[in-house]
Amino acid sequence: MDAPTKLLLFMAALLTCVGCAFSATLCPNCGVTPVPYPFSTSPTCGDQDYKIRCDAAGTLQFDTLNSSYPITSINPALQRLVIKPSSFLPNTCITSDLVHQGLQLNSSLPFNVTSSNTIMYMNCSTTILGSPLNCSSASLCHVYINDTRDRAQCEEPSASICCTFKAGGSTNSYMIRVREGGCRAYTSFVNLDVSQPLDRWPEPGVEIQWVTPREPVCGSQADCDGNSTCGVDPSESGVRRCFCKSGLSWDPVEGVCVERLTCQDPSGCGGSSGRTALIAGLTAGIGTTLIAATIAILLYKRHRRIKEAQERLAREREEILNSGGGGKAAKIFTGKEIKKATDNFSKDRLLGSGGYGEVYKGILKDGTEVAVKCAKLGNTKGTDQVLNEVRILCQVNHRSLVGLLGCCVELEQPILVYEYISNGTLLEHLQGLKFGGRGLLTWSHRLQVAHDTAEGLAYLHSSAVPPIYHRDVKSSNILLDEKLNAKVSDFGLSRLAHSDLSHISTCAQGTLGYLDPEYYKKYQLTDKSDVYSFGVVLLELLTSQKAIDFNRAEDDVNLAVYVQRTVEEEKVMEAIDPMLKEKASKLELETMKALAFLAMGCLEERRQNRPSMKEVSEEIEYIISIAKSEAAKI
């Protein structure tokens, strides 16, 4: 599309919004600083999920879990803001937020620390040397403290360990951690050009991005403007939003409903006569060509900024894919290959969808069947999860883990390509939703699924370097192939267990019914959190019941609580799936009981009382050997 056509389309887009009211109320300026949508400085303006604070001095403040930081800039087009890092305590190499263990974002809110930050950790203890931080004498951090007078106290022998951390494409971090016994000071620079001398470095800052806001929440039609209708949100139970009327679409940057442009022809819309008519209409609509051109140029620049941000994200994704280290090599697919494989993302190829995006069945040029996962366009957290999955799967390769074949970096949203597992999920089989119902999953099949899954998780915990915590182990994330072999999938929430960066998220994430209660209370992630979740999966295999089911008695809604009660009452066999017990031998019934007690061991409230996944895998293998000895006799 040529430049004049771009300008005309931008001006046309502007005209469609002339006179349209805001679907959301903008907040007033904070001092002289505008507060762009979706930010909210009071309960009556902006989006309440995007709260910031205007202090008495007229400065915008970004509140974290335990502290507050001044906002130095906001870029609505790129959905990013910069905050000023914590200051140093007088005459020390200690940041004032050490008492709060550094900058800690609430991971349940739509904000995260971006990969554009180069972080300098200072005054570190020797325990940090085993981490992935660059703590060598040649690290960028040493350049910083050696050439900066006000950081001279960080050069003292007692505070001389200084490390540099560059996220390297990671866009899913929720904290910059400082603590006693680790590093006690930090600072950060956004988009740092290391080729520049120190006196040309930018002011310290931490860049934070936010998720694209949804349509405003409403109680009734009175809360919406004339361009939107208050309706039930199908993706959030009990929530109503101001949805744009037909022909209009939500602009999350401006917080308005705008008219959709129907022209999709990349070479331009219509011939020269149509263009002349459009120019005449634009001239009549805005009064003067000069005003129209000025506005168009501003919009064109905004478009360029957005495009540059998208290109930057594509580079980050490619860097992640190419940094897999010792794991499985993955291919970079072109956008054309992906569209052809999925029949241009045909709804007939849709395998499933979730909060992150959608999964399609694809067929490559050589006939290979694949699963194609696409993050939702504009959904930053969904994008983060897909990018995180690339980073995890590029480092592992095990028969019980779903295989990553590659990804596409050309299209706007991140796209992953996996091996296609044809037989659905464990949850579908247990609930009778797949291939004739749960009757196909015999007791021997269920034991094998349990062992395959345990082996895959044990590999993540004990053989991957560094160890990996899955964080979302559940029956819907266990795929079965045509031989009913199990493969663990969906690594969007997984985390690498680096020695000083293991507690990446400060708030528990996962699925209700599978969450480790100690993780939920202490916000500390370990391998035993996966063990707890796997214990719930074992109960599902034994009972064929859901982890959370409101059709059970009020006290038994949670499956773990329900089975625990039957154990305490010495009636555990009453909870076992009747279809399993119906034709089971005496020895098979004993193996069912043994697996139930193993599950209860995984579900111990205190982490230290739970077995490791390696021990769980070995115990299931022993139970299988007993079951096979019975089969051999028959």
Structure tokens at 495: 């985390």
- For helices 527-543 and 559-568, the axis angle rounded to 10 degrees is 70
Any catalytic annotation for residue 472?
yes
The residue type of 186 is: Y
Q: How many other C-beta atoms lie within 10 A of the C-beta of residue 618? A: 15
Strand runs labelled E in 311-450: 331-333, 350-353, 357-363, 369-375, 404-408, 415-419
CA–CA separation, 35 and 49 (whole Å): 15
- In angstroms, the CA 469 to CA 472 distance is 9
Close Cβ partners of 291 (under 8 Å, ≥ 6 residues apart): none
Helix (H), strand (E) at residue 203: none
State the Cα–Cα distance between residues 342 and 346, nearest whole angstrom: 6
Helix axes of 289-321 and 3-17: crossing angle, nearest 10 degrees = 110
Distance set, CA 79 to CA 45, 263, 365, 551 (Å): 18, 27, 38, 43
Q: What single-letter DSSP state applies at residue 460?
A: I
From 47, 97, 384, 472, active-site residue = 472
d(CA 536, CA 524): 20
Is the distance from CB of 596 to CB of 567 less than 8 angstroms?
yes
Name 411's Cβ contacts closer than 8 Å, sequence gap at least 6.
335, 338
C-alpha span between 323 and 328 (Å, rounded): 11
- Measured in degrees and rounded to the nearest 5, phi and psi for residue 335 equal -60, -35
Q: Which of 168, 216, 63 is nearest to 394 (CA)?
A: 168
CA angle 491, 496, 501 (to 5 degrees): 140
Query: Which residues pair with residue 124 across a beta bridge?
Result: 183
Round to whole Å and give the CA distance between 429 and 442: 11
List helix spans (H) across 574-612: 578-582, 586-602
The dihedral sign for the CA sequence 250, 251, 252, 254:
negative
Which residues 6+ apart lie within 8 Å of 516 measured at CB?
Answer: 508, 510, 528, 529, 532, 533, 607
- Catalytic residue positions, numbered: 472
